[in-house]
Structure 1
Amino acid sequence: MTNSYLRFLLACSLVSLSACAQQTQVHQMKSEVGSLNQEMAQLAEQAVKLTQQNALNAKSTTGVYLLPGSQTPARLNSQLGNLQMSLSAITPEANGSRAMLMIKGESHDPLPAFSGKVEWGQIQGTTDSYQEVNVQSQQFSVPASLLAPSDISIPLRLSGLSPEQLGFVRIHDIQPADPSQALPAR
């Protein structure tokens, strides 16, 4: 083989490898852009849900609203003091949804045993003019915590609505099991 022929083969090989490398880079960039677009859509949806959650809580006279998808705790001023509440691990279940209610006491004292009420359903309309529909409720009880500050996880079974249908969860009527442990109203 002649040197010119070897140079020609080497040049063709380099062009071919270069084209493959560019295709791989283009494919990788498209994949990264797709991932970024998906993350931006999720963040936009989270921002909408957080704005709705804040608006609902600003109007609420009893309890605190938690909207799936907001991924942000809400604060409830209760007979036990200020509590931060959030939802996590919302998953489908045969008869509806399952979720974990996280309650965190803001004081430096353990929480006493208490009970409360959880309601869930769908929201129709706008944040300014809305209606709660398909609302269901249940009581829950929590034993006294041993740790301070308290972090409590309560598993919830939210029947009747899949995670996609679940519009809100509202927690209210938090009361200590022993009324003498209630804090004075502020």
Structure 2
Amino acid sequence: MPQLYLNRKDIKHDFKKLMQTRLNRDLYHKLMDNLPVSIRAKLGISIWEGFDLVRVDGREADNIFEIALVSKTEKKIIYYNQVIIVSDVFLNARPATQILLWRTVDPQYKGLTTGLAEKIFFEYIIETYDIIMSDNSQTEQGMFFWQTRLLQAIDKGLFAYLYDYLKGGVTQAQSPNA
């Protein structure tokens, strides 16, 4: 079930591997040492020289893959998305996923990160999985991200559902008001 971060201290603790320069660089090296595959061309995006959008499979566990926008010249992560493949006994479809998402707030990278999460969500992750479940860990911006994706999915004619984890029930959201 999603965890809403209300305390900045919790956000700093759980996201510090990306927010602190040294830890971000350490994670960059861990990702790059695990045979990343560039997905930039698959998404058809052009990014600045010295940067790449990569996917790393199974670094932490067999059911986890990571997507990162990396600066190879600065050896750091600009955008990070951890996708956890979740099997659910109530949902009969390709595995659902949960996403832990982070991007730098440094304004010099705004041109790289603007719209990137949406593009990855709709043109990469949703192309592979039938069901996308909300993040396990959300900041207030994370809640906004999911509300926006739900509205965009409805607008694109995709099916959007609200899932009651405790009861195993699914209700279709047929309009923005739902």
Same fold (TM over 0.5): no
Relative contact order higher in (CA < 8 Å, ≥ 6 apart): 1
Larger Cα-atom Rg: 1
TM-score range, shorter chain: under 0.3
Q: What TM-score does the superposition give when structure 1 sets the normalisation length?
A: 0.23
Q: What TM-score does the superposition give when structure 2 sets the normalisation length?
A: 0.24
